[in-house]
Amino acid sequence: MERSFDLLLVGGGPGGYVAAIRAAQLGMKTALVECDQLGGVCLNWGCIPTKALLRSAEVYTQLLHASAYGLTASDVAFDLPQIVARSRAVAEQLSSGVKHLLRKNGVEVIRGRGRLAGGGRLQVEGPDGAVTQLRSAHIVLATGARARAMAPIEPDGKLVWSYKEALTPQVMPKSLLVVGSGAIGIEFASFYSALGADVTVIEMLDRVLPAEDEEISEFARKAFTRRGLRIITGATVTGLAKGDDDVMVTFESGGQPSTLRVERVLSAVGIVGNVEGLGLEHTRVQVDRTHIVVDEWCRTTEPGVYAIGDVAGAPWLAHKASHEGILCVEKIAGAGHPQPLDPRRIPGCTYSQPQVASVGLTERQARETGRELKIGRFPFHANGKAIALGEPEGLVKTIFDAHTGQLLGAHMIGAEVTELIQGYVLGMTLETTEAEFAHTVFAHPTLSEAMHEAALAAFGSAIHV
């Protein structure tokens, strides 16, 4: 028996469940198909549990340096099983919250794997093998992505980890090699290093956090190195020789072969879109390097089929997926005032120690546009709140168009910059110029004053540096 809906969503991650709730709010009869945990990888195995782990590491680090704050903490230690249990509990709490929100908004959740069957039909194979036939004029694919498995560092679940094993370690490795220095790799490197592991990071490109502004990237490299990370750039892993409880890693750097023995290897070399098993081969949907090609409204080349989130390509961020879900649904419903998503206005955050956050163009990208630029910088060591926090290591960098005053990019490293970056994101959305930043009153003492001073510095009027 075939069941009809106004909207069908395949995948219950931060794109799918948000889109489903928004559709229900707009009066659409909505069903969400999910074969695993609601909230997707982000909530269950990514964004949320990693932040819980990193928070534990941050508190532990603060306790180790209690004397710097005039405090005494003796016999400081960590309980790894309890750290992992807390992380899992946080994820489970939020996953239950997503289930509640979907039920509250009248979204029907159908367990199983969805497959396009043509003509607005979706076949769902349930856990018991039974197939349900669904129909809708609008089907949104939000199937996300998974970690890339790349030779010779394919995860084996024991000696070579994916993010899942890194989130639930049975024991703390004495040494760890992280392959890949993007946000995922660096966050895990920070966590394990903070808890005492000897961590090495290998990056194929010439710098750490290669998507960030080069100046911030170099600042980060120095900061991470001071915290004990060993970072090797311009290097490629060429082989693994696995022992009973360790790995001999062969890598090449600068044309020279080297070896490194570690207890565990973490592969963090990117992701691939989950496009298999969706029935795309029988449609006009185009796939480019494992990602579904869409237009500015998340429409594929197959009428009535849409794609949002990681499966629809970079940037692979939960907040991008959620925003796409809302604009896609509002465009379908003809409601609200949806606008195409400008990827330059999507913030990126890395929750390492110190944190890194950015939005807009890097300095190199801005110069490649041919514009005349005004660039401002303000160090955290000149910010009163950062000094009072004992976190004076940081930098805020702003990039403006010299003639129009338009904010082209903002790049930050330091304490809580993942919270601060939204001020610049909002400014870019409102098309704010340096004049508005200059005339805005920032509370004192706050870390956000560094944002004000960095904007003033671009035009030669910073006060405290």
Annotated catalytic sites, by residue? 444
State the CB neighbour count (10 A cutoff) for residue 176.
Answer: 24
DSSP state of 383: -
Secondary structure (3-state) at 344: helix
The rounded distance, in Å, linking the Cα atoms of 90 and 268 is: 23
Q: What distances in angstroms separate CA 112 from CA 46, 70, 118, 120, 447, one per listed residue?
A: 22, 56, 18, 18, 47
The rounded distance, in Å, linking the Cα atoms of 448 and 105 is: 37
Residue 37 phi, psi (nearest 5): -90, 135
The rounded distance, in Å, linking the Cα atoms of 306 and 109 is: 19
Closest among 353, 465, 464, 358 to 415, alpha carbons compared: 353
Nearby residues of 442 by Cβ (< 8 Å), 6 or more positions away: 448, 449, 451, 452
Query: For the chain, how many residues are written?
Result: 465
Evaluate whether 228 touches 191 at the Cβ level (below 8 Å).
Answer: no
- Cis upstream peptide for 379 (omega within 30°): no
Strands, E, within 88-205: which ranges? 108-111, 113-118, 121-125, 131-135, 139-141, 145-147, 160-161, 175-179, 198-203
End-to-end, the C-alpha distance of the chain in Å comes to 71
What are the b/e assignments for 277-308, b being 16+ CB within 10 Å? Answer: ebbbeebebebeebbbebeeebbbebebbbbb
Nearby residues of 3 by Cβ (< 8 Å), 6 or more positions away: 31, 132, 133, 134, 135
The rounded distance, in Å, linking the Cα atoms of 223 and 417 is: 15
- Per the listing, tokens 């018991």 go with 128
Q: Which amino acid is at 142?
A: A
What are the b/e assignments for 220-244, b being 16+ CB within 10 Å? Answer: bbebbeebebebbbebebeebeeee
